[in-house]
Amino acid sequence: MSNNNEGGGGRDNILNFRGKYFDESSTLQTVANYSRLSGEYDEDLRKVNSTAAYNAASATWELVKHDPHHTRVLDVACGTGGVGTHLKESFNFQGVIDGVDGSGMMLDIARSRKIYRDLIEEIITPERSLFVREAYYDVTVCCGGFCVGHLDPGTFVDLVRSVRPGGYVVMVMGCKEEGSEYGGMMMREMAKLEARGKCSLTYKRKCGGEIDGITEAVLYCLRKASA
C-alpha cells in the first residue's frame, strides 16, 4: 500500500468515503447523501488524498491553453468545484467554466468559490438529457461522475453532444469501475459512439496514486468528430 504522500488515501479511507456517499442502487439516494453531507465533503476528499480533480484539470488545460481567455469548459458532476478550482488556481485559466451537478447544496459551495459562470442543478438520466446548449463547449470534463450510483453510462452521449465539432470530452473514472460490470457498460457506450463516427479516443492513461498496487483512476480523452 502506498502512503498518502504518493497520492493514495489508503484503502480504509477510500472504502469509508465510498460507503459514506455512494448508494450503488440509487442515483437519487447518492445525490441525497452528497447534499446531506456537503459540508463534510471537501474534508473527506482531502483524507482520501485523491489527485483525480487535478489530473482532470491538467488534461483540460492541455486542450485549451492555446487560447485560455476565450475557450469554454463544461464541468459535469462538478460537485463543490474541485476541477474548476484547479483550472483557475493551478493553471490560471481565464475562459468560461460552467458546471452541472445533481446536488444544489454541493453547488452552493462551488458557487461560493466564484469560479463558475453558471451552475445548473440537474440530475442527468438517459430519459432526461443534459440541459445545456449543444455543440457549444470546447471541452466537457467529468471527474468521478461515471461510477455506480452516479451517472448512467447511457448519459455519456450527452457529454459528446455538448461540445463543438472537433471539441473534446475528458473523463476520469476510478479503476475499480473500469474493471467492473459498470465499466463494461461504459466501454460499450463509447464504442457505439465511435462506431457511429460521433467521436474517437484520443488517448487513455492511468492517473493518481496507487492503493495496494492498483492505480487510483484512468483518464480518457475523446475528440468529437469535426463534421
The answer on pLDDT for 209 being more than 70 is: no
- Choose between 42 and 96: higher pLDDT: 96
Average pLDDT over residues 14-41: 80
Q: What is the pLDDT of residues 130-181, one digit of tens each?
A: 778 899 999 999 998 998 889 999 999 999 999 999 999 999 988 767 678 8
- Please state, in angstroms and rounded to a whole number, the distance separating the CA atoms of residues 38 and 35: 5
pLDDT of residue 46: 81
Q: What angle do CA 170, 72, 76 make, to 5 degrees?
A: 45
For residue 91, count CB atoms less than 10 angstroms from its CB and return exposed for 0-12, middle for 13-18, buried for 19 or more. Answer: middle
pLDDT band of 13, cuts 50, 70, 90: low
What sign results for the dihedral spanned by CA atoms 19, 27, 111, 68?
positive
- Please state, in angstroms and rounded to a whole number, the distance separating the CA atoms of residues 119 and 101: 8
Cell numbers describing residue 217: 483512476
Q: What is the pLDDT of residues 112-127, one digit of tens each?
A: 999 999 999 998 888 7
pLDDT of residue 143: 94
Among 46, 48, 23, 59, smallest CA distance to 211 is for 48
The answer on pLDDT for 212 being more than 50 is: no
User: Is residue 163 within 8 Å of residue 140, measured between CB atoms?
Assistant: yes
The answer on pLDDT for 213 being more than 60 is: no
Question: Any idea what DSSP says for residue 117?
Answer: S
pLDDT of residue 12: 66
Checking 62-67 for CB contacts under 8 A at 24+ apart, the result is 63/138, 63/139, 63/168, 63/170, 63/221, 64/93, 64/95, 64/138, 64/139, 65/91, 67/95
The per-residue pLDDT of the chain, averaged, comes to 86
The answer on pLDDT for 219 being more than 60 is: yes
Among 91, 85, 86, 93, smallest CA distance to 109 is for 85
- Please state, in angstroms and rounded to a whole number, the distance separating the CA atoms of residues 204 and 221: 6
The answer on pLDDT for 223 being more than 90 is: yes
- Please state, in angstroms and rounded to a whole number, the distance separating the CA atoms of residues 8 and 226: 38
The answer on pLDDT for 187 being more than 50 is: yes
Q: What is the pLDDT of residues 64-115, one digit of tens each?
A: 999 999 999 999 999 999 999 999 999 999 999 999 999 999 999 999 999 9
For the whole model, what pTM was predicted? Answer: 0.88
Give every strand in the sheet of 214-224, ordered side by side: 119-121, 96-101, 72-76, 137-143, 163-174, 214-224, 199-211
